[in-house]
Structure 1
Amino acid sequence: MSSPAFNSTEPKGGDPFLVDVNAQYVGFEYHYTYLVFCGFIVWLIIPGIGLLYGGLARRKSALALLFQSLMVAAVTTFQWIFWGYSLAYSRTAGPFIGDMANFGMKNVMAAPSPGSAVIPEIVFCLYQLLFCACTVQIVVGGAFERGRIVPSLVFGFFWATLIYCPIACWTWNPNGWLYQLPSLDFAGGGPVHISSGWSALAYAFVLGKRKHAGDKSHSKPHNTTLVFLGTVLIWFGWFGFNGGSALNATVRAMLAAFNTNTAASTGMIGWVMVDYLKYGRKFSVVGACSGAIAGLVGITPAAGYVGVWLAAVIGFITASSVWECSHAIFPFRLWT
């Protein structure tokens, strides 16, 4: 059984009124059905981050952070269908950024996708949209109790355009310069986590200290239950984030999903263990959640490339390192 091939004379994959556009994927349906499911659960990361941020914030800020998480998803969706997808994944892209070949979702429908010949392009586009939305959500977290919602949404639109789309093009578009090296980034260590982390830090520095910097109670999460629930949604969504990045329902995808759970688990163990051994503290729900998320981030670029035991090591070391870094900068109050 041969995979469908992209036909440049039919960039949309055929006219559904004249031909059966599904016929080219007969025998491969399970691949794109799996990716659709992964996309659905990746979406849960968006409200998960909102709940996580909301639980860590003061009570009066929690609702705004929840609202902002959904607005980020809405704004990023508009950006993606307007020109984001074309800038990242157009087939005629240069080594650094795409062109306007798919502006306004032009010809994005039933043809084999740039990422995988067994995935219709509309499915691939949806899945990658959710990656972009999650990344923008992380960046906008830099405005955590520092800035207003509307300016942060405008910032998110342009950040996705000027930062995320070019880096995604470098890394995952077959024409991208990193892709052609080749560099190995399974699910977004560079386009998602490195870019968003540094951008969020820069954004926070530009906005300045939190509005309640003088309030001594601000350092404690107002609702650990929300933190826990947000982490659970993020952890569950990450199965789709990493497991779906194989762009097919193969053993590699299953390995990535297994490694995701492994790294999150050992990350949680690592954070709690270091916290207990260094300070003799009682076990903390927030600490456990922080360790799990650190493990998830650490395994993301290698999820489909390493064995299970190495994934366990990556999760443990990542969480332990993040713990050390967060406590090393604590005296400087860089985030307050």
Structure 2
Amino acid sequence: MSLNLTGTATGVGTGGDTLTTDLNTQFDAADMVWVGTSAALVWIMIPGIGLLYSGLSRKKHALSLLWASIMAVGVVSFQWFWWGYSLVFSHNTKGNGFIGTLQFFGFKDVLGAPSSVTSVPDILFAFFQGMFAIVTGTLMVGGACERARLLPMMIFLFLWITIVYCPIACWTWNAEGWLALLGALDYAGGGPVHICSGHGALIYALVLGKRNDPVAKAGMPKYKPHSVTSVVLGTVFLWFGWFGFNGGSAGNATIRAWYSCVNTNLAASCAALTWMFIDYFRFGRKWTTVGLCSGAISGLVGITPAAGFVPIWASVIIGIVTAIACNFAVDLKTLLRIDDGLDVYALHGVGGAVGSIMTGIFAADYVNASAGAEALAISGGWINHNYKQVGYQLAAICSVVAWTCVVTAALLMIMDRIPFLRLRLRAEEEEMGTDGAQIGEFTYEDNEMYIPEPVRSNTSAKVPRPTAIDDQINENSDSAPSSEQAGQPAEKVVV
């Protein structure tokens, strides 16, 4: 029996009664398919971050960083359902665009009404934007690499997404957000995702303090990546998922979405080559794989706020400039004496700020208008003679940096004074490694293992006569003796 769908969509609340109204007719099916597919692509970025961070870390901490990426999926997904989506994308705000209301608390009424991006329904937009929140949280906890306790990390992540990320995302992306009304442009998350996560990670690293390193007592600890293969795999996942991150941020399946994908790929490619060439001349005349991957990520970060606004030729400039800035920003941790071991601040904090400024310079009204009837008009940047746009971008950068640093520091210092929420591992636990001290599992089981008897070949051999010790052991125990018990040296088998 077919439904009698003769009702009319209300456009508010749930959008209407699904038993009497076809809510899908309000939206273009292609738009919904593309945004939903993009959300799945963005999800792939989350384990990509875990692989990247794990590969850059030392072996005894490698699993904890993979763990953190999957943990972030669980914690932030629940937070987004609980009140995160409502605080960012409720259809009205409080404080003159500062924060959303609890209109959608617990996903109440999140169904078929047009979302803040009117081309897709609330339920789809909530799914898509939830992925951005998870990515931001996963990036931020990278500042705690190799020295943070995991229970406080989970609690901190929930609180940080609530009181740091959600207000900034509301300012930027909610139609009533104060930065959006001011005129700041942020296509896919230069401020809410990258500047926010980069500076959050920097403060996390600052409050935790420097990793224990008996060699680098005065300077910053510096270790070689334990698995460049994991670094490459993480970069591949991130680059691939970024097509959903930027392409889906168009909110539709128009030419603008594909334009932003081309910008994304080109900026990443130019940045990867730039970083690799810089490292070739700065460090030992080697074409480093880690440099190539770091450059690609810096380019992806730099193009994020600009991808749907700037001409394709501008993505080449953005990729090159962002790679140069981020490459030299890696040295800032030594000057600041903050042990940001995974360079989250250099890549995301600095890269996001550079990309946001470049957006103010290169944003073009005709690129934005490639979305056709679904486009919202902009005045463009310097190339449209809108010279005040860079001022708006700087205002957005400064507000995001100030809010992130102050609130993150306050939250961490309060938590660290609560005994059971102590943030950092003890010295002996850090020496053992986060994997052993906090998880009890390991990425690699490289401990030397022993077997109770020598390894014998398949060829026939004369069986030795049992000794008196063998007879005594067989009488007193059902288990086979070890080679040490039998008076023989243990034969070691490395697994």
User: Structure 1 length as normaliser, TM-score?
Assistant: 0.93
The structure 1 residue matched to 2:106, chosen from 104, 118, 135, is: 104
Residue 22 of structure 2 corresponds to 20
8 Å Cα contact 1:235/1:296 also seen in 2: yes
8 Å Cα contact 1:246/1:304 also seen in 2: yes
Moved more, 302-311 or 76-85: 302-311
- Superposed, 1:175-214 pairs within 5 Å as 175-210=176-211, 212-214=212-214
8 Å Cα contact 2:42/2:242 also seen in 1: yes
Is 2:321 the partner of 1:320? no
8 Å Cα contact 2:175/2:181 also seen in 1: yes
8 Å Cα contact 2:9/2:23 also seen in 1: no
CA separation of 1:77 and 1:311: change in aligned 2, threshold 3 A: same
Q: Aligned partners of 1:203, 1:332: CA distance in 2, in Å?
A: 14
8 Å Cα contact 1:267/1:294 also seen in 2: yes
Q: Tell me, which stretches of 5 or more residues in structure 1 are unaligned? A: none
Q: Residue 111 of structure 1 aligns to which amino acid in structure 2?
A: A
Q: Aligned partners of 2:158, 2:245: CA distance in 1, in Å?
A: 22
- Find the residue that maps to 1:301 and give its secondary structure: coil
8 Å Cα contact 2:93/2:101 also seen in 1: yes
Residue 113 of structure 1 corresponds to 115
8 Å Cα contact 1:58/1:218 also seen in 2: no
Q: Aligned partners of 1:316, 1:6: CA distance in 2, in Å?
A: 48
Deviation, structure 1 residue 55? 0.2
Q: Aligned partners of 2:18, 2:282: CA distance in 1, in Å?
A: 63
CA RMSD of aligned residues (A): 1.7
Q: Residue 76 of structure 2 aligns to which amino acid in structure 1?
A: T
CA separation of 1:51 and 1:159: change in aligned 2, threshold 3 A: same
Task: Show CA shifts across 1:110-162 (max 9, x none).
Answer: 111111x2211111000000000000111111111120122111111111000
Residue 274 of structure 1 corresponds to 278
Residue 159 of structure 1 corresponds to 160
Residue 311 of structure 1 corresponds to 315
Higher helix share: 1
Residue 38 of structure 1 corresponds to 38
Alignment length (residue pairs): 327
Deviation, structure 1 residue 21? 2.3
Q: Aligned partners of 1:317, 1:302: CA distance in 2, in Å?
A: 14
8 Å Cα contact 1:57/1:218 also seen in 2: no
- Superposed, 1:225-240 pairs within 5 Å as 225-240=229-244
Moved more, 46-55 or 275-284: 275-284
Q: Residue 39 of structure 1 aligns to which amino acid in structure 2?
A: A
Q: Tell me, which stretches of 5 or more residues in structure 2 are unaligned? A: 1-7, 342-495
Q: Residue 24 of structure 1 aligns to which amino acid in structure 2?
A: Q
Q: Residue 21 of structure 2 aligns to which amino acid in structure 1?
A: V
8 Å Cα contact 1:47/1:69 also seen in 2: yes
Residue 253 of structure 2 corresponds to 249
Q: Residue 238 of structure 2 aligns to which amino acid in structure 1?
A: I
Deviation, structure 1 residue 328? 5.3
Q: Aligned partners of 2:123, 2:312: CA distance in 1, in Å?
A: 32
Task: Show CA shifts across 1:51-109 (max 9, x none).
Answer: 00000011111111111110111100000000000000101213100011111101101
Deviation, structure 1 residue 13? 1.6
Residue 171 of structure 1 corresponds to 172
Task: Show CA shifts across 1:246-286 (max 9, x none).
Answer: 10011111111111001110110110111112344211111
Q: Aligned partners of 1:19, 1:325: CA distance in 2, in Å?
A: 55
Deviation, structure 1 residue 218? 5.5
Q: Aligned partners of 2:253, 2:331: CA distance in 1, in Å?
A: 41
Residue 264 of structure 1 corresponds to 268
Identity of aligned residues (%): 49
Q: Residue 116 of structure 2 aligns to which amino acid in structure 1?
A: P
Q: Aligned partners of 1:220, 1:255: CA distance in 2, in Å?
A: 38
Q: Aligned partners of 1:191, 1:130: CA distance in 2, in Å?
A: 13
Q: Residue 122 of structure 1 aligns to which amino acid in structure 2?
A: I
Moved more, 277-286 or 154-163: 277-286
CA separation of 1:222 and 1:215: change in aligned 2, threshold 3 A: farther
Task: Show CA shifts across 1:140-190 (max 9, x none).
Answer: 111111201221111111110001110111011111111111211001111
Residue 418 of structure 2 corresponds to none
Moved more, 144-153 or 77-86: 144-153
The structure 2 residue matched to 1:299, chosen from 283, 286, 303, is: 303
Deviation, structure 1 residue 6? 7.6
Q: Residue 230 of structure 1 aligns to which amino acid in structure 2?
A: G
Q: Residue 114 of structure 1 aligns to which amino acid in structure 2?
A: S
* Structure possessing the higher radius of gyration over alpha carbons: 2
Deviation, structure 1 residue 329? 4.5
8 Å Cα contact 2:205/2:338 also seen in 1: no
Residue 146 of structure 1 corresponds to 147
CA separation of 1:128 and 1:50: change in aligned 2, threshold 3 A: same
Moved more, 35-44 or 14-23: 14-23
Task: Show CA shifts across 1:301-334 (max 9, x none).
Answer: 1111111111011111111111112135447753
Q: Residue 37 of structure 1 aligns to which amino acid in structure 2?
A: T
Q: Residue 7 of structure 1 aligns to which amino acid in structure 2?
A: T
Q: Residue 108 of structure 2 aligns to which amino acid in structure 1?
A: K
- Find the residue that maps to 1:32 and give its secondary structure: helix
